[in-house]
Structure 1
Amino acid sequence: MSELELISWNVNGIRAIHRKGFIDWLSENKPDIISIQETKAQIDQLPKKLINIPDYTSYFNSAERKGYSGVATYSQIKPQNVINGMGIDKFDTEGRLLRIDYDEFTLLNIYYPNGGSGEERLQYKLDFYDAFLDYTNKLRDEGNNLVICGDLNTAHNPIDLARPKANEEVSGFLPIEREWVSKFLSNGYVDTFREFNQEPDQYTWWSYRTKARDRNVGWRLDYFFVNEEFLDKVVDSYILSDVMGSDHCPIGLKLDL
């Protein structure tokens, strides 16, 4: 048996986090796999140091639009297969999904859309959610165990944000968004963090604008999900709230395989 540590982090710009010491942090902490979201860069815009980090192989899925969206995964473990996107053009052009197949599980690194800039983007987010659920269910039907990580852009329950009442009409905590998360979980997926921690005041994102992090006025927007059949492999799920560098902090998952 071996224990694996997986990290997920919305870095709010891979070049920005690089300037803040990302490679040093990664070299010191050495997770087996780290998935990052909102890279905001294409590979030809990155310094070689960010593509070739010692001990890691890097995989990128960038948006067609420069400086927008994008995901990347750095892995110390050799995968069987790497696929960009769900196979749906209207979502895949935004570089939001990276699928990496390992021997014992499939890792999905996702940067889910933000619905905050109007009705059209909210509908895009909801359409993405529905397409994603179809996609994950198909992968499970094919016999895959799934580890799903990333910035969901929705806080599921009132415990998952500091001011639920004030945000009931704000995208990220709308009833329709929260209902989808409940529907997703009812399809046989598990919010791993809540398996280990039922405490309030556990957040992964804080607004820069209001210096909210100093007061811990935050939202839990970043998740590790697994399918129910794989839950017995999960030994811990946690938030690394003391790690700075982005308006999100990293989250971690430990597996015993």
Structure 2
Amino acid sequence: MKFISWNVNGLRAVVKKDFTTTFTDLDADFFCIQETKMQAGQLDLELPGYEQYYNYAERKGYSGTAIFTKHHPLAVTYDIGVPEYDHEGRVITLEYPDFYLVTCYTPNSGSGLKRLDFRMGWEDVFQDYLDKLNISKPVILCGDLNVAHEEIDLKNPKTNHKNAGFTDDEREKFTALLGRGYTDTFRYFNPDATEQYSWWSYRFHARDNNAGWRIDYFVTSNSIQKNLETAEIRNDVFGSDHCPVELVTTGLNV
């Protein structure tokens, strides 16, 4: 099965940039979206063969997630059950016989790290949420997790050390997540790969110069490592400041 995750930086905007052709070409079983930046009723998207699930932020034009799937889920859950963090449309969970699929748009710590405390609180409750799921069946987590874990995960680690997405606090939380029994699938297959990024600033021709960050992930429970076939960054796909990331698995029932 193929899973795709993509921060589209506005679903209505990317639809105007031939999203449906890209969607068809990628031909995923599950297509997870972050940063939809829309409310219910603002887009009528025809995707034959797919069920569509959306979680909208209360604030208009902000955040938001979606999952498009060929496979009808056993259950659908929105948010994580913690009121402080459940108003920005950041999480959708689909349950299947062999796994949970969770798409997440992690809060950005913001300029001047103004939201770092909020982000750290989010990390704690979200990781607890994943662990509760993982007790009953494995988890496939994907999304824009807004952190470059190691120095090889961004072009300029030294100059970004204290910036949002590469602070010690954020990186340590990602290390802690992996320590709870999860796998960064791209690094599982590509432990030493460099200059492989999923986000580039719109400034300074960053994408042209490949001055990017790897902040989009598929993270899975260690118990399904045997089911992982490939994990790739689809930097050949344009239309957003992020590119899609891809995971292919085998032997999981839906």
Q: TM-score category by the smaller chain?
A: over 0.9
**Unpaired runs of 5+ in structure 2?**
none
With over 3 angstroms needed to count, the CA separation of the structure-2 counterparts of 1:119 and 1:205, relative to structure 1, is: closer
Q: For 1:167, what is the secondary structure of its paired residue?
A: coil
For residues 185 and 233 of structure 1, the distance between their equivalents in structure 2, rounded to whole angstroms, comes to 18
The correspondence of residues 1-80 of structure 1 with structure 2, limited to 5 A, is 4-46=1-43, 48=44, 50=45, 52-80=46-74
The amino acid that maps onto 1:21 is: D
Structure 1, residues 20-58: CA drift from partner, whole Å, max 9, x if none? 011121122211110000000012111x2x1x3111110
In terms of fraction of residues, the more helix-rich structure is 1
Q: Which position in structure 1 is the counterpart of 2:128?
A: 134
For residues 207 and 114 of structure 2, the distance between their equivalents in structure 1, rounded to whole angstroms, comes to 30
Structure 1, residues 171-228: CA drift from partner, whole Å, max 9, x if none? 1100111011111101101100001112110000000012100000000000000011
Offset, 1:120: 4.2
Deviant stretches of 4+, over 6 Å: none
With over 3 angstroms needed to count, the CA separation of the structure-2 counterparts of 1:119 and 1:173, relative to structure 1, is: closer
Matched, 1:226 2:220: yes
For residues 193 and 214 of structure 1, the distance between their equivalents in structure 2, rounded to whole angstroms, comes to 23
Q: For 1:224, what is the secondary structure of its paired residue?
A: strand
Please, what TM-score do these two structures have when normalized by structure 1? 0.95
Matched, 1:117 2:114: no
The correspondence of residues 45-194 of structure 1 with structure 2, limited to 5 A, is 45-46=42-43, 48=44, 50=45, 52-141=46-135, 143-194=136-187
For residues 232 and 32 of structure 1, the distance between their equivalents in structure 2, rounded to whole angstroms, comes to 19
For residues 112 and 197 of structure 2, the distance between their equivalents in structure 1, rounded to whole angstroms, comes to 25
The amino acid that maps onto 1:183 is: A
Q: Which position in structure 2 is the counterpart of 1:200?
A: 194
For residues 104 and 211 of structure 1, the distance between their equivalents in structure 2, rounded to whole angstroms, comes to 43
Offset, 1:156: 0.2
Equivalences, count: 250
For residues 120 and 131 of structure 1, the distance between their equivalents in structure 2, rounded to whole angstroms, comes to 19
For residues 201 and 220 of structure 1, the distance between their equivalents in structure 2, rounded to whole angstroms, comes to 9
For residues 32 and 246 of structure 1, the distance between their equivalents in structure 2, rounded to whole angstroms, comes to 21
**Unpaired runs of 5+ in structure 1?**
none
Q: Which position in structure 1 is the counterpart of 2:241?
A: 247
The amino acid that maps onto 2:138 is: N
With over 3 angstroms needed to count, the CA separation of the structure-2 counterparts of 1:207 and 1:152, relative to structure 1, is: same
The amino acid that maps onto 1:178 is: R
Identity %: 45
User: Is residue 73–residue 94 contact of structure 2 (8 Å, CA) maintained in 1?
Assistant: yes
For residues 138 and 28 of structure 1, the distance between their equivalents in structure 2, rounded to whole angstroms, comes to 35
Structure 1, residues 126-155: CA drift from partner, whole Å, max 9, x if none? 1111111111111112x1110000001010
For residues 109 and 67 of structure 2, the distance between their equivalents in structure 1, rounded to whole angstroms, comes to 24
Offset, 1:118: 4.1
